[in-house]
């Protein structure tokens, strides 16, 4: 991986480190290598960073003091949530000259307004805690993803997280009404409004959402809540191809309408990996199918006749030869078992050697053509490569992952990461897609962003970065590189 960009940054002096420690108090910092170690490596082990000091402020005022001190000293800061991001955004660079600021102690739910259907949560709240708090108040917070037991709501905002229910409820951009954040000069932006309608100018909240810690440190957000689903029906269907999956998706939306909450795709090879490596899993269908669709439909009222409609959809699709075989979960336990098959794919893939991962999206109708073209190209590039392309097909989002050929050498395969990714990303761009549907740009894709983004868009992104962070101290070298 390439070295960090040159910047006019200062290295932290002993005086600055002491001032930062004083700002957060005894419980708010650590420089013990054992404490810091898990925070200095990313989820995939691609990046190993260093820092002289890890801060854990407990209040927005403490965050503001820390940022102000760093800004005055021109020392960069890296905000970190649950460190579950998959693009190296939350880990400092190897040179050790950045301060790491973790939000984990800012973990209070400040308010839950059941009438307004909103919750004000601090950035360090774990996503699962937010979901539970909503449920306890007979409300529903729909963001749901594999890392929900450890990712933080601040990280979810900073990465505009998506997940499994985007189809119905949208991603974080659609789930956040207000934000509180510390800007790169240490001032506090107090945008915690809980309004559904607010047309009073540029939207700083939306700038901060998806900014990956490069425009400020999000300290709290007002989240939208919904009536909880009271019916949930989960089906697992075998189909011949991505095109067949798409045809089924169209029919599902025509017959079930907005009740379709999730529509996921996985190929047989992904199921084979799961069955081989994840204990307690079994094939829910009698015979192997080339691809599988996991479709979830939910309703917020009982007697919705939803179960009948889902069964009818699948029966007709089987009669028409669109679906090879299908099953509908008979209750929560069976539904969880079906979801486990889908959610275990990344874990199962780890047991099959090295993998080169992509998180792309294309317009939904272009998905089958993308899959064909990209598979053909990567197979020509790396004969024997195993394409494990799965994901949120209802959002046009595919994790186009490549597992090493069976008898290949792991390091030799991984050495071809850039070459393979360029090929996949070029195919995405040909189809008007995005090289990052969910995980962000971080450090992993920053050069690809420069290579592939529209020059005008890139220029405007750089202008925004310069306007808000003129000294480039907020997570520099991530997302958007200076021009
Ligand atoms: C098993 C697994 C499944 C996943 N599934 C999905 C999925 O379905 N959909 C999806 O979108 N993502 C998914 N992810 C990726 C990841 O969980 C999300 O990107 C998540 O939103 C990151 O949150 P975090 O708290 O871990 O952030 P971190 O990893 O700590 O940080 C991510 C970025 O945000 C910045 N940041 C963090 N907190 C703040 C803050 N408070 N203020 C400003 N900047 C901040 C960091 O500097 C970094 O650039 C998955 C990850 C794993 C490991």
Q: Verify that 89 and 134 share a domain, yes or no.
A: no
Whether the CB of 210 sits within 6 Å of ligand 1: no
Separation of 28 CA from ligand 1 center, angstroms?
22
Q: How far apart, in whole angstroms, are the C-alpha atoms of residue 419 and residue 430?
A: 17
Atom of ligand 1 at shortest range from CA of 85:
29
4 band by pLDDT with thresholds 50, 70 and 90: very low
How high is the pLDDT of residue 3? 41
Q: What is the pLDDT of residues 118-134, one digit of tens each?
A: 999 999 999 999 999 99
Q: Verify that 115 and 203 share a domain, yes or no.
A: yes
Percent residues over pLDDT 70 in the chain: 98
Q: Cβ distance 139 to 157 under 8 Å?
A: no
In the predicted model, what is the mean pLDDT of residues 299-321?
93
How high is the pLDDT of residue 7? 57
β strands within 404-471, DSSP E: none
Atom of ligand 1 at shortest range from CA of 123:
41
Q: What is the pLDDT of residues 242-260, one digit of tens each?
A: 999 999 999 999 999 999 9
Whether the CB of 355 sits within 6 Å of ligand 1: no
How high is the pLDDT of residue 146? 87
Q: How far apart, in whole angstroms, are the C-alpha atoms of residue 322 and residue 340?
A: 24
- Contacts of 273 by beta carbon, 8 Å cutoff, 6+ apart: 345, 348, 349, 351, 352, 388, 403
- CA–CA distance from 447 to each of 196, 338, 434, 477, 478 (Å)? 37, 38, 14, 10, 10
Q: Verify that 129 and 41 share a domain, yes or no.
A: no
476 found inside a domain? no
Whether the CB of 346 sits within 6 Å of ligand 1: yes
Lowest mean pLDDT among 162-166, 208-212, 454-458: 162-166
pTM for this entry: 0.95
Whether the CB of 156 sits within 6 Å of ligand 1: yes
Separation of 306 CA from ligand 1 center, angstroms?
34
Q: Verify that 152 and 113 share a domain, yes or no.
A: yes
Q: What is the pLDDT of residues 392-432, one digit of tens each?
A: 988 999 999 999 999 899 999 999 999 999 999 999 999 99
End of a domain among 186, 203, 224?
224
Whether the CB of 427 sits within 6 Å of ligand 1: no
Q: How far apart, in whole angstroms, are the C-alpha atoms of residue 446 and residue 421?
A: 13
Q: Which residue has the tokens 């995405």?
A: 428
146 found inside a domain? yes
CATH number of 70's domain: 3.30.43.10
Residue 385 above 90 pLDDT?
yes
5 found inside a domain? no
Q: Based on the structure, what is the number of domains in the chain?
A: 4
Q: Cβ distance 382 to 416 under 8 Å?
A: yes
- CA–CA distance from 208 to each of 161, 176, 338, 361, 379 (Å)? 13, 11, 36, 22, 39
Burial level of 41, CB count in 10 A (0-12/13-18/19+)? Answer: middle
Q: How far apart, in whole angstroms, are the C-alpha atoms of residue 55 and residue 31?
A: 9
Percent residues over pLDDT 90 in the chain: 94
Whether the CB of 213 sits within 6 Å of ligand 1: yes
- CA–CA distance from 190 to each of 155, 202, 218, 224 (Å)? 18, 15, 10, 18
In the predicted model, what is the mean pLDDT of residues 231-241?
97
Residue identifier of the C-alpha nearest atom 9 of ligand 1: 163
In the predicted model, what is the mean pLDDT of residues 52-63?
98
Q: How far apart, in whole angstroms, are the C-alpha atoms of residue 77 and residue 96?
A: 11
Whether the CB of 191 sits within 6 Å of ligand 1: no
- CA–CA distance from 51 to each of 7, 32, 104, 154, 415 (Å)? 17, 11, 18, 22, 27
Q: Which two tokens stand for residue 334?
A: 């069976």
In the predicted model, what is the mean pLDDT of residues 77-92?
97
The 10 Å CB-count burial string (b at 16+, else e) for 277-291 is ebeebebbeeeebeb
Whether the CB of 147 sits within 6 Å of ligand 1: yes
Whether the CB of 16 sits within 6 Å of ligand 1: no
User: Mutation test of ligand 1: which of 38, 80, 162 has the most ligand atoms closer than 8 Å to its C-beta?
Assistant: 80
Q: Verify that 218 and 274 share a domain, yes or no.
A: no
Separation of 433 CA from ligand 1 center, angstroms?
21
Q: Verify that 326 and 394 share a domain, yes or no.
A: no
Q: What is the pLDDT of residues 431-460, one digit of tens each?
A: 999 999 999 999 999 999 999 999 999 999
Atom of ligand 1 at shortest range from CA of 152:
25
Whether the CB of 85 sits within 6 Å of ligand 1: yes
Q: What is the pLDDT of residues 318-370, one digit of tens each?
A: 999 999 999 999 999 999 999 999 999 999 999 999 999 999 999 999 999 99
Whether the CB of 217 sits within 6 Å of ligand 1: yes
Whether the CB of 92 sits within 6 Å of ligand 1: no
User: Mutation test of ligand 1: which of 152, 158, 469 has the most ligand atoms closer than 8 Å to its C-beta?
Assistant: 158
Residue 14 above 70 pLDDT?
yes
- CA–CA distance from 228 to each of 129, 196, 302, 333 (Å)? 16, 19, 12, 19
Q: Verify that 236 and 337 share a domain, yes or no.
A: yes
The count of C-alpha atoms lying within 13 angstroms of the C-alpha of 247, restricted to the half-sphere facing its C-beta, is: 15
User: Mutation test of ligand 1: which of 85, 340, 342, 350 has the most ligand atoms closer than 8 Å to its C-beta?
Assistant: 85
Separation of 156 CA from ligand 1 center, angstroms?
5
Q: Verify that 91 and 116 share a domain, yes or no.
A: no
Separation of 87 CA from ligand 1 center, angstroms?
9
Q: How far apart, in whole angstroms, are the C-alpha atoms of residue 443 and residue 450?
A: 12
Separation of 78 CA from ligand 1 center, angstroms?
13
| Of 253, 231, 227, the residue nearest 306 (C-alpha) | 231
Q: Verify that 137 and 37 share a domain, yes or no.
A: no
**More confident position, 146 or 207:** 207
How high is the pLDDT of residue 163? 86
- Contacts of 55 by beta carbon, 8 Å cutoff, 6+ apart: 20, 24, 28, 29, 66, 99, 100, 101, 102
End of a domain among 224, 254, 277?
224
Residue 5 above 80 pLDDT?
no
115 found inside a domain? yes
Residue 279 above 90 pLDDT?
yes
End of a domain among 347, 381, 412?
347
Domain span including residue 373: 352-439
CB neighbours (10 Å) of residue 209? 24
Residue 2 above 80 pLDDT?
no
Q: What is the pLDDT of residues 166-191, one digit of tens each?
A: 999 999 999 999 999 999 999 999 99
Q: How far apart, in whole angstroms, are the C-alpha atoms of residue 113 and residue 442?
A: 34
| Of 472, 468, 482, the residue nearest 182 (C-alpha) | 468
| CA dihedral sign of residues 458, 459, 461, 466 | positive
**More confident position, 483 or 25:** 25
Residue 139 above 50 pLDDT?
yes
| Of 28, 45, 51, 169, the residue nearest 103 (C-alpha) | 28
Residue 1 above 90 pLDDT?
no
Per the prediction, the chain carries an average pLDDT of 95
């Amino acid at each position: 991986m390439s070295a960090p960009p040159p910047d006019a940054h200062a290295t932290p002096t002993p005086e600055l480190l002491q001032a930062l420690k004083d700002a957060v108090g005894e419980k708010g910092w650590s420089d013990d290598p054992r404490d810091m170690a898990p925070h200095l490596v990313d989820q995939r082990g691609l990046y190993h960073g260093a820092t002289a000091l890890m801060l854990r402020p407990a209040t927005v005022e403490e965050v503001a003091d820390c940022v102000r001190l760093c800004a005055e000293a021109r020392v960069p800061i890296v905000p970190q949530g649950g460190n579950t991001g998959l693009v190296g955004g939350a880990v400092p660079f190897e040179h050790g000259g950045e301060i790491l600021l973790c939000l984990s102690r800012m973990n209070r739910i400040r308010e839950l307004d059941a009438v307004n259907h909103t919750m004000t949560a601090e950035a360090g709240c774990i996503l699962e805690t937010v979901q539970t708090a909503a449920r306890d108040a007979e409300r529903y917070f729909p963001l749901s993803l594999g890392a929900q037991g450890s990712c933080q709501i601040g990280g979810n905002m900073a990465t505009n997280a998506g997940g499994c229910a985007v189809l119905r409820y949208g991603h974080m951009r659609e789930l956040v009404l207000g934000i509180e954040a510390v800007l790169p000069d240490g001032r506090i932006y107090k945008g915690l409004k809980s309004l559904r309608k607010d047309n009073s100018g540029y939207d700083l909240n939306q700038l901060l959402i998806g900014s990956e810690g490069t425009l400020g440190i999000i300290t709290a957000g007002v989240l939208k809540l919904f009536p909880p689903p009271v019916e949930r029906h989960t089906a697992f269907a075998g189909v011949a191809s991505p095109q067949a999956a798409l045809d089924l998706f169209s029919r599902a939306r025509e017959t079930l309408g907005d009740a379709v909450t999730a529509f996921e795709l996985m190929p047989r090879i992904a199921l084979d990996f799961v069955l081989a490596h994840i204990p307690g899993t079994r094939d829910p269908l009698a015979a192997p199918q080339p691809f599988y669709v996991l479709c979830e439909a939910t309703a917020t009222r009982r007697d919705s006749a939803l179960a009948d409609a889902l069964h009818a959809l699948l029966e007709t699709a089987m009669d028409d030869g669109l679906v090879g075989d299908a099953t509908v979960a008979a209750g929560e336990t069976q539904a969880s078992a079906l979801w486990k098959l889908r959610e275990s794919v990344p874990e199962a893939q780890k047991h099959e050697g090295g993998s080169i991962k992509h998180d792309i999206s294309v317009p939904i109708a272009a998905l089958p053509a993308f899959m064909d073209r990209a598979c053909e190209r990567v197979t020509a590039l790396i004969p024997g490569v195993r394409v494990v392309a799965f994901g949120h097909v209802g959002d046009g989002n595919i994790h186009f992952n490549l597992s090493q050929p069976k008898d290949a050498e792991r390091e030799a395969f991984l050495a071809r990461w850039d070459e393979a990714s360029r090929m996949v990303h070029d195919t995405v761009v040909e189809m008007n897609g995005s090289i990052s549907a969910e995980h962000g740009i971080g450090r992993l894709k920053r050069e690809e962003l420069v290579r592939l983004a529209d020059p005008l868009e890139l220029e405007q992104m750089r202008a925004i970065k310069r306007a808000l962070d003129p000294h480039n101290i907020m997570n520099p070298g991530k997302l958007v590189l200076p021009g």
